[in-house]
Structure 1
Amino acid sequence: MSSTQIIVNEVSLDTFKGEGFPVKITKQINDLRKLVSRNASFTSQISFPRTAKNTAALSGLTPTFRNSKVTPRSLSCVILMNGVTVLSGGRFTLSSKSDDKYKGTVFFGNFDFFNLLEGDISE
C-alpha cells in the first residue's frame, strides 16, 4: 500500500483515505524559444478534510478562481510518496473550501518564471 504525504508550510496535512490519492502530477517542459502561456507544472486537484490541523495550516488562504486577475496567495509545499520526496519547492493554492473539506492544487517548476524576468528580454 502506498502512502502520500502533502506537507504545506512544514505541516503534514490530514487527508481523506483513498480520495484523490495517489496524486496525479503533470510536468510541463517549455521551449524558451517559443514561450507559451503554459508556464507551470501542477498536480490534480487535491481534497483535504476540514480538520483543526488543516485549518491552522491553511489559514490566510482564500480560494482562487481560474480566471481571476488577482495573484493567488500560496504556501510552500512538498509531496512525499512512500517517504520519498517527489515534489519539492511547490506552492499550494486553495481553489475551494466548504463546511467539510478544502480543495487545492500544487504548482511547481517554473510557475513564477515570467515574474522573475525584468526589463526588455528581446535584447
Structure 2
Amino acid sequence: MQQSRKPRHQSRRLFTASELASYEHCSLAWWHEHYDPIAQGNDDELFARLVEMENKHDAQAPSLPEYHVVEQLLLRRGAFEDENARQREGTDVEEMADERIITPGSEGAMRRLVPVILGLVVLSLLLIISSAFLK
C-alpha cells in the first residue's frame, strides 16, 4: 500500500522586501492590510464605511482607530485622488467660482500690525530712557 507522500515543506508564502519593511515598521498595520476583512473591501465599501462612522460618531469619527485604518487604505490605493478627479470632471468652472470662499489675506492684518508693534517699541524705549533720568 502506497502512502501519499507529503512534501516536507507545504507551500509557503514568499514575502517581498517592501512587505517585510512594512511589517518591521508596524506589524499591526501590516496585519490589518493583509488579513483584516476591511482591507479586502473595494473602495466604494470603504468610503461607505467612512461615511457610516462619520454619521454615527460625528466629529469624533476621525479619532477612531478603525477610521484611520480605512483612511490609510484608501490613501494607499489612491482612491481620494480618483474621487477628486471625478468631482472635478463633474463640476463646471462657474460652479467652482461660486463655491469659492474668500478669506481675508494676512497681508492686510500684517500692515495693521506693523504700526502697532513700532508704537510699542518706541513707547518701551521712551519708558526705559525716562526711568534712567528719574534715578
TM exceeds 0.5?
no
Could you say which structure has the higher strand fraction?
Answer: 1
- Give TM class, smaller chain: under 0.3
Larger RCO (alpha carbons 8 Å, 6+ apart): 1
- The structure with the larger Rg is 2
TM-score (norm 2): 0.21
Question: TM-score scaled by structure 1?
Answer: 0.22
Q: Greater helix percent: which structure?
A: 2
